[in-house]
Amino acid sequence: MVMKVGREKLLTAVVEKMGSIVRGMFTANQFPIGETKVGGQQVRILFYLARKHDGVSVKELAEKLNVTSGAVSQFMDVLVEKNLVKREEDLNDRRLLRMRLTKQAKSKFADFKRYYFATVSRTFDSLSDEEIVTLLELLNKIGV
């Protein structure tokens, strides 16, 4: 029983630290994408869309972000208004809309991504390259 309590405490500490890191990455009120400012959830959406060249449905995005489809629609309305995201009919199913980055957003987001990672990487300044490799291996091992 002592081992289990010890493991639970360790895992609690790990989860709290990981949560703190992630919250730190998205807590700024506004992030600059070119001259446009967007919030943390919108940045998460842009990161996800940037990886999905075929676009993403509202349902898929809601599942990925663990929010309702209505919340995603509200975030998307702002991103569409700011000309960062476009809605397009799905080529295979005209009833579905797919969200994609606009051409303008792609170039602005590439610059933002470099800035963002340079800023966030400071979190890991106290780790050596070998420790970062170990951290990455451990995260991959648990499927993160």
Locate the domains of the chain by residue range: 29-141
Residue 27 has what pLDDT? 62
- Tell me the C-alpha distance between 61 and 56, whole Å: 7
* Rounded distance between C-alpha atoms, residue 70 and residue 74, angstroms: 6
CA angle 50-53-58, nearest 5°?
75
Which pLDDT value is given to residue 85?
95
Indicate if the pLDDT at residue 101 is higher than 90: yes
Q: For residue 81, what pLDDT is reported? A: 94
Confidence of residue 87 (pLDDT cuts 50, 70, 90): very high
Which residues lie across from 101 on neighbouring strands? 85
Residue count of the chain, please give it: 144
- The Cα 59–Cα 63 span in angstroms is 6
Which of 62, 49, 65 lies closest to 106 in space, CA to CA?
A: 49
pLDDT tens, position by position, 30-48: 888 888 888 888 888 999 9
Per-residue pLDDT, 3 = 52
Which pair of tokens denotes residue 137?
A: 């291996």
* Mean pLDDT value of segment 97-106: 91
For residues 57-85, average pLDDT: 92
Backbone φ, ψ for residue 135 (5° rounding): -60, -45
Residue 4 has pLDDT above 60, yes or no: no
Higher pLDDT among residues 89 and 5, named by residue: 89
Q: What is the mean pLDDT of the chain?
A: 86
Alpha helices in the chain (DSSP H): 2-26, 40-51, 58-65, 69-81, 103-120, 129-141
CA-angle at 108, arms to 22 and 39, nearest 5°: 40
Q: How far apart are CA 102 and CA 99, in angstroms?
A: 9
Looking at residues 90-98, what average pLDDT do you find? 81
CATH number corresponding to 29-141: 1.10.10.10
**Whether this model's pTM surpasses 0.75:** no
